[in-house]
Amino acid sequence: MKRTIIHVDMDAFFAAVEVRDNPELRGKPLIIGALPHERGVVSTCSYEARKFGVRSAMSIKEAYRRCPHGIFMHGDMSKYAKASDEIHKVMLKFTDAIEFVALDEGYMDVTGSLRIFGSAEAIGRQLKKEIFDAVGVTCSVGISYSMMGAKLASEEKKPDGFFVIPDKESLVELIKDRPVGVISGIGEKTAEKLKAMGIVTVQNLLDTPEGNLKVLGANGAAIKRLAEGNDTRQVVAEAPAKSIGREHTFQNNITDAKVLKDALLLLSRDVSLRAKRNEMWGRTVTLKLKFSDMHGITRAHSSDATNSSREIYDQACKLLDGLRLIQPVRLVGVALSNLQDFKDEPEMQLSLFDELEPEKERSKQKAEALENTIFDLHNKYGRGILKTAKELEVWNKINDKENE
């Protein structure tokens, strides 16, 4: 049975959301990731920045060398996740056969939806309109008979593009003179091996007997089939998340446990916000550390289900206190796992100390009420709308320590 696949790819998503919220950034080279003096990589950048050779995953240092007049800024993952949630809701109106591969990208198998919504082209154009109406940013939509074809189609007319590759003959005709890297599964190393064999374009690959590709191992035959337009991969609906986590890489390695705990406070807040947004609770808190020699360790503790930032933070700090820090720390992270989906808060076991210390329990309830209020504001207006005095103090302390 012929499938109909749609690939939705947001256009410079993080940068587009920032421009939406700050119109004065429109038309300027915007680079999301870190500031020029910080250690980090480019998460995404505007099309204006791409004209200067800036690309995702490039080091911030290299991005600054290529585009010193660019506007560099930190990303707001909570804000992008909220926009992504709205995009996913629109996509789910048309089918539940969706494979989300990133916050800004997903495949849809609309084969069974055609009889309801009409042609694939009608679905694609309605998708573009509803996503823009819901989120205020553009996307590119590709339609084809396969996943590779749909992705290639979405890239064909970016940004704000719409393109259809109806069959494998059309796909081969489109890409035959392009570099082999356009084929799914061919990365830089494989492209170098093919180049050494004189295979530079897709047509070169098509002209090469399959037996000559054994140097690539089992991938040789698969790559040959893809070059011929034969892609049998199926859209796999997203599996439930196994954990919710956040990490922070320090600009300079850290030896002060107090600074690590300050970072854990902020990371625990973000993990809590994400868990609450997804109506999830978790029973296991995991602490992750990566040291200056790139060696990493994790420690975990399980107890009652929670999504409280205070409880996540307390558990992470206890795990940290149980370690001897003999090397400087490069990265710290915290995660919540053994997740459970509750529409209402799960029942918790009452501690004897809660009954004996009502004042302590009231203080805890007030803190949780404040946390829930902050969550409601973040959920409605975005992560940057409100920071507590403690958060601002902590960020300043971390920045001061990192810049020493």
Is the bond preceding 159 in cis, omega lying within 30 degrees of 0? yes
Write the CA distances from 353 to 40, 100, 303, 357, 382, integer angstroms.
45, 45, 16, 6, 37
d(CA 183, CA 187): 9
Asked whether 138 and 4 are in contact (CB, 8 A), the reply is no
d(CA 305, CA 347): 9
State residue 230 phi and psi, 5-degree precision: -100, 95
Asked whether 141 and 6 are in contact (CB, 8 A), the reply is yes
Indicate if 105 belongs to the active site.
yes
- Classify residue 145 by burial, with Cβ atoms within 10 Å: 0-12, 13-18, 19+: buried
Token look-up 């799914």 returns 184
Computed on alpha carbons and rounded to an integer, the radius of gyration of the chain in Å comes to 24
Element (H, E) at 169: helix 168-175
**Tokens at residue 47, please?**
């099309």
**Tokens at residue 46, please?**
């505007």
* Strand bridging mode 105-109 / 5-10: antiparallel
Give the CA count within 13 Å in the CB-facing half-sphere of 58. 20
DSSP state string for 323-354: S---S-EEEEEEEEEEEEE-SSPPP-PPPHHH
Three-state DSSP string of 99-143: EEEECCEEEEECHHHHHHHCCHHHHHHHHHHHHHHHHCCCEEEEE
Q: Given the residues 18, 48, 105, 311, select the one marked as catalytic.
A: 105
Q: Of 145, 184, 391, 353, which Cα lies nearest the Cα of 268?
A: 391
Asked whether 2 and 232 are in contact (CB, 8 A), the reply is no
> Known catalytic residues?
105
